[in-house]
Amino acid sequence: MKNMSCIIPITYLLFITLFSANAQFVKKTYLVQMDKAAMPKAFSNHLDWYSSTVKSALLTTSLESSDMKNEEERIIYSYQNAFHGVAAKLSKEEAERLEDQEGVVAIFPERKYQLHTTRSPEFLGLEPLSKGTDSIFSENLDNDVIVGVLDTGIWPESESFNDTGMKPVPSYWKGACEIGRGFTKQHCNKKIIGARVFYHGYEAAIGKINESREHKSPRDQDGHGTHTAATVAGSVVHGANLLGYAYGTARGMAPGARIAAYKVCWIGGCFSSDILSAIDKAVSDGVHVLSISLGGGVSSYSHDSISTAAFGAMERGVFISCSAGNAGPSPASLANVSPWITTVGASTMDRDFPAQVKLGNGKNLSGASLYKGPNTVSTEKQYPLVYLGGNSSGTLNPKAMCLEGTLDPQVVKGKIVICERGISPRVQKGHVVKNAGGVGMILTNTETNGEELVADCHLLPAVAIGEKDGKDLKNYVLTNKNATATLSFLGTRLGIRPSPVVAAFSSRGPNFLSLEVLKPDLVAPGVNILAAWSEDVGPSGLAIDQRRVKFSIVSGTSMSCPHVSGVAALIKAKHPQWSPAAIKSALMTTAYVVDNTMKPLKDASNAEKPSNPYDHGAGHINPTKALDPGLVYDIKPQDYFDFLCTQNLTPNQLGVFGKYANRSCAHSLASPGDLNYPAISLVFAENKSISVMTVHRTVTNVGPDVSTYHVLVSVFKGASVKVEPETLNFTRKYQKLSYKVTFTTKARQTQPEFGDLVWKDGVQSVRSPIVITWLTPIV
**How do strand 736-745 and strand 692-701 relate by DSSP bridges?**
antiparallel
Is 414's pLDDT higher than 80?
Answer: yes
Band (pLDDT 50/70/90 cuts) for residue 116 is confident
Which residue from 581, 569, 585 is spatially nearest to 617, judged by alpha carbons? Answer: 585
> Which amino acid is it at 130?
S
Which residue from 629, 622, 618, 667 is spatially nearest to 645, judged by alpha carbons? Answer: 667
**Mind listing the pLDDT tens digit for each residue in 754-770?**
999 999 999 999 999 99
Enumerate the active-site residues.
151, 224, 558
**Mind listing the pLDDT tens digit for each residue in 472-514?**
999 999 999 999 999 999 999 999 999 999 999 999 999 999 9
Distance CA 546, CA 91 (A): 43
The CA–CA distances, whole Å, from 715 to 370, 480, 712, 721, 766 equal 45, 53, 10, 8, 18
Cβ atoms of 231 and 293 within 8 Å: the answer is no
What's the average model confidence in pLDDT over 532-552?
A: 92
Alpha-helical runs (H) found in 57-160: 71-74, 92-99, 120-123, 137-140
Calculate what percentage of the chain has a pLDDT beyond 70. Answer: 91
pLDDT (0 to 100) of residue 19: 38
Which residue from 39, 54, 41, 52 is spatially nearest to 99, judged by alpha carbons? Answer: 54
Domains of the chain: 28-108 (3.30.70), 119-130+145-350+500-627 (3.40.50.200), 354-489 (3.50.30.30), 631-635+676-774 (2.60.40.2310)
Is 108's pLDDT higher than 70?
Answer: yes
Please give the full DSSP string across 228-269, using - where no structure is assigned. Answer: HHHHHHPPPEEEEEETTEEEEEE--SSTTSEEEEEE-EETTE
**Mind listing the pLDDT tens digit for each residue in 251-273?**
999 999 999 999 999 999 999 99
More confident residue, 367 or 121: 367
What's the average model confidence in pLDDT over 299-308?
A: 90
What's the average model confidence in pLDDT over 443-460?
A: 90
Distance CA 487, CA 380 (A): 10
What's the average model confidence in pLDDT over 613-619?
A: 98
Predicted model pTM = 0.91
**Mind listing the pLDDT tens digit for each residue in 55-89?**
988 876 534 444 444 545 899 999 989 899 999 99
Please give the full DSSP string across 301-326, using - where no structure is assigned. Answer: GGG-HHHHHHHHHHHTT-EEEEE--S
Band (pLDDT 50/70/90 cuts) for residue 299 is confident
pLDDT (0 to 100) of residue 753: 97
**Count of residues in the chain:** 779
What's the average model confidence in pLDDT over 434-460?
A: 92
Q: How does 421-440 read in b/e, with b if 16+ C-beta sit within 10 Å?
A: bbebebbbbbbbbbbbbbbb
**Mind listing the pLDDT tens digit for each residue in 637-693?**
999 999 999 999 999 899 999 877 789 999 999 999 999 999 999 999 888 788 999
Calculate what percentage of the chain has a pLDDT beyond 90. Answer: 78
Distance CA 711, CA 761 (A): 9
Distance CA 430, CA 410 (A): 17
Which DSSP state fits 272? H
More confident residue, 175 or 21: 175
Is 176's pLDDT higher than 80?
Answer: yes
More confident residue, 4 or 315: 315
pLDDT (0 to 100) of residue 117: 67
**Mind listing the pLDDT tens digit for each residue in 129-170?**
344 444 544 444 447 899 999 999 999 999 999 999 999 999
Cβ atoms of 121 and 110 within 8 Å: the answer is no
**Mind listing the pLDDT tens digit for each residue in 352-384?**
999 999 999 999 999 999 999 888 889 889 999
- Please provide the distance, in angstroms rounded to a whole number, between the alpha carbons at the two ends of the chain: 55
Distance CA 57, CA 47 (A): 16
Computed over every residue of the chain, the mean pLDDT equals: 90
Number of Cβ within a 10 Å radius of residue 80: 18
